[in-house]
Amino acid sequence: GAVVSQHPSRVICKSGTSVKIECRSLDFQATTMFWYRQFPKQSLMLMATSNEGSKATYEQGVEKDKFLINHASLTLSTLTVTSAHPEDSSFYICSARVDSAHSGNTIYFGEGSWLTVV
Amino acid sequence: QKEVEQDPGPLSVPEGAIVSLNCTYSNSAFQYFMWYRQYSRKGPELLMYTYSSGNKEDGRFTAQVDKSSKYISLFIRDSQPSDSATYLCAIGSTSYGKLTFGQGTILTVHP
């Protein structure tokens, strides 16, 4: 089946530093990818929609200057958490929509990345 | 009112039981419906995807959609301990792929 790979799966960083998380679709092209964050025992909250070759669309309340998204190719989107603070510690998950006329809106998720800011 | 409501549970059943998981939604513009399973500390795994009212079956899983009532369900037959996870309904309104998730239902199947 389709696979979406996220890297790193777990990262610890110091407060004030920046962290980059990669999301790759391994066996399909994805013009559109999504970034979510999930707090313990809570559901996924959409942060932004990433479109290949154009600016990301951010959800209300998400700081675009803090969460930088780059979707430079049809198989890779990156999320950079800039000037990270402890409250940014969370589980970040990406998903990718399969580019295919026959797949409808099939969306696959990555394994997630645990970010801990100390 | 949230766009998608899902009973968070937790739900605990014995092995072999039939499990029913449910979501309701408020926006009639929603067009496609998905169920994901999420194990602890892992990303969600797509279980079922449907866009029409009625039933869709895949192995032990049956997804049911009733657009007139804005109600969707996932049934798990012959539940196994390995089915223990959080189940998330996800609903979309456009072909763009943006999903709205329910809160998730925590399911435990005990031997």
pLDDT for the residue numbered A66: 96
pLDDT for the residue numbered A2: 62
> Does the structure show a pLDDT above 80 at A59?
yes
> Does the structure show a pLDDT above 60 at A9?
yes
B79, containing H or E segment: none
CB-nearest to A109 from B32, B44, B104 is B44
Q: Phi and psi at residue B81, in whole multiples of 5°?
A: -55, -30
| Cβ contacts of B41 on chain A, cutoff 8 Å | 91, 112, 114
pLDDT for the residue numbered B31: 82
Mean pLDDT of A67-91: 95
pLDDT for the residue numbered B95: 58
Residue whose C-alpha is closest to residue B35's, from B95, B92, B79, B78: B92
The set of residues, in sequence order, having a beta carbon less than 8 Å from that of A63 and lying 6+ positions away, is none
Residue whose C-alpha is closest to residue B33's, from B10, B66, B2, B77: B66
Mean pLDDT of A87-102: 86
Contact yes or no for B46 and A108 at CB 8 A: yes
CB-nearest to A107 from B99, B100, B103 is B99
Contact yes or no for A43 and B104 at CB 8 A: yes
Contact yes or no for B92 and A104 at CB 8 A: no
The greatest distance separating any two alpha carbons of chain B, rounded to the nearest whole angstrom, comes to 41
CA gap A93, A59 in Å, rounded: 15
User: Is A28 in the B-facing interface, judged by CB distances under 8 Å?
Assistant: no
Instruction: Count A/B contacts: CB-CB distance under 8 Å.
Output: 58
CA atoms within 13 A on the CB side of A56: 26
Q: Distances from the Cα of A49 to the Cαs of A71, A78, A94, B92, in angstroms?
A: 10, 12, 10, 14
CA torsion angle B33 B37 B41 B42 (round to 10): -80
User: Is B99 in the A-facing interface, judged by CB distances under 8 Å?
Assistant: yes
> Which one-letter amino acid corresponds to residue B102?
G
pLDDT for the residue numbered B89: 95
pLDDT (tens, 9 = 90+) of chain B, 111 residues, equals 678 999 878 999 999 999 999 999 998 888 889 999 999 888 999 899 888 889 999 999 999 999 999 999 999 999 999 999 999 999 987 656 678 899 999 999 999
pLDDT for the residue numbered B86: 94
Residue window 88-107, chain A: list those with CB within 8 Å of chain B.
91, 93, 95, 97, 104-107
Residue with tokens 């999420």: B38
Residues A27-53 have pLDDT tens digits of 889 989 999 999 887 888 999 999 888
Over the range B70-87, which residues count as b (16 or more CB within 10 Å of their CB) and which as e?
bebbbbbeebeeebbbbb
| Cβ contacts of A104 on chain B, cutoff 8 Å | 32, 49, 51
User: Is B3 in the A-facing interface, judged by CB distances under 8 Å?
Assistant: no
> Does the structure show a pLDDT above 60 at A14?
yes
